[in-house]
Structure 1
């Protein structure tokens, strides 16, 4: 059960009309399954960052965080780009 409070959450997935939100809590990673229809239309896709408020184990407020979503996507792409580069081989020009 997710304690009442405000969290930064990420839409992990949406399957069969159920959205799974993941967030870091003081007890570690937590997930909250909700009806996808409870999310704003522009937030019904994976990897969207949200600020959510939970009370009595229910979602009571959702705000999409477009800047944070863009920043996280950019950071992930940068990590992917760095990891996908071929390491230098012996004999390669430096």
Structure 2
């Protein structure tokens, strides 16, 4: 059985192990640790977004998605900006 997920690189531990958060429909459903060498070079940083394929529970393919990563960062920045705006003074 083959499963496909979106994954976010949560962190790299001791420069050798990557922690991926697997997502399904926007929710984290699993966490996997993999050898950093299994990740594409351009995706070896916190917050990188990947398409991940698992076959019988084993990692089969990892594809970096820089466009999805950029979109996610922009959405998060927009949300942060909205939350950091001060509400208008209510001097009525």
TM-score, reference length from structure 2 = 0.84
Flag as ranges the 4+ runs of structure 1 deviating above 4 A: none
Tell me the alpha carbon deviations over residues 29-74 of structure 1, each in whole angstroms, 9 at most, x when there is no partner.
2111001111011111111110011123321111111111111000
> Any unmatched runs of 5+ in structure 2?
none
> Any unmatched runs of 5+ in structure 1?
none
Cα distance in 1 for residues equivalent to 2:73 and 2:56? 31
TM-score, reference length from structure 1 = 0.83
Q: How many residue pairs were aligned?
A: 89
Match of 2:7 among 6, 9, 32: 9
Which stretch of the first structure deviates more once superposed, 7-16 or 74-83? 7-16
Cα distance in 2 for residues equivalent to 1:88 and 1:25? 38
How far the C-alpha of 1:18 sits from its partner, in A, is 1.0
Q: Which protein shows a greater Rg?
A: 1
Cα distance in 2 for residues equivalent to 1:25 and 1:79? 21
2:21 aligns to what? Answer: 22
SS of alignment partner, residue 89 of structure 2? coil
